[in-house]
Amino acid sequence: MPELIKEDHHSVRVLVVVEGIHDIEFLTRISTLLHTDDPALPDLATMEHNRELIFLPISGHPQAWIRRLAPLNLPEFHLYDREQSPVTEQRQQTVDTINQRHRCRAMLTKKRSLENYLHPQTIQAVAGVALDYGDHDCVATVAAQRIFESSHGNPNWKQLTKRARVRLTNRVKHWLNTNAVEQMTIRLLQERDPNGEIISWLESIIQLAETA
């Protein structure tokens, strides 16, 4: 990754720091949907293809990335899942520190994670199960448990080993951030994100890109 940044430094306009590859899958797809509806919003997939944007999936520990990218002298946008206390408070401190840096913007999701912005109809369209979840539930776990129980005659999910539960949840997390996102529409997104939080992330990214 450092070699890629160095090689294309002349065209890179913004670095987008996220927790993992699933976040990249979600953001590229949802931004394409929103860009189609409003061309003023950036299509992150196109920006990445044109090497105007580089995603950095950091695999946890956001605090380690507060200043690590500063030597590149590029605008930075950081987006981290809210998760639950005490992780939320620790991440908020990280976000506050990043926001003190020049041409840097960091945000915590108001919901637990990106999967919480999905409309249940998209999950039903992909997996054929009806789910009910709140803004602070782990959607991947709720979906994995529901799918497992509905396909195995309602056995006890908790009797599975932790390793088995994690494997099934990770499998669900993949298609939630790909297939399910592709089922989203503007109407469904407005129902799940009535305050336009995702739009505000995209607006911040394009504003930072314009300062490069």
Residue 54 has pLDDT above 90, yes or no: yes
In this prediction, residue 71 carries a pLDDT of 95
Q: How many CB atoms lie within 10 A of CB 185?
A: 13
Same domain, 103 and 82: yes
**In a domain? residue 156:** yes
Mean pLDDT of 116-124: 98
Same domain, 111 and 147: no
User: Residue 107: which H helix or E strand, with range?
Assistant: strand 104-108
Residue 188 has pLDDT above 70, yes or no: yes
User: What Cα–Cα distance (Å) separates residue 2 from each residue in 15, 23, 86, 92, 134?
Assistant: 12, 20, 32, 27, 38
CATH code, domain carrying 18:
3.40.50
Three-state SS for 202?
Answer: helix
Contact at 8 Å (CB) between 131 and 147? Answer: no
**In a domain? residue 187:** no
* Residue of 104, 92, 113 whose CA lies nearest to 205: 104
Mean pLDDT of 137-154: 88
Residue 93 has pLDDT above 90, yes or no: yes
Across the chain, what does the average pLDDT equal? 93
* Segments forming the whole domain that contains residue 155: 120-182
pLDDT tens digits, 58-84 = 987 899 999 999 999 999 999 999 988
Q: Provide the domain count of the chain.
A: 2
Please state the pTM of the whole predicted model.
0.92
Same domain, 154 and 205: no
In this prediction, residue 61 carries a pLDDT of 87
* Confidence band for 155, pLDDT divided at 50, 70 and 90: confident
Kind of pairing, strands 14-18 and 76-80? parallel
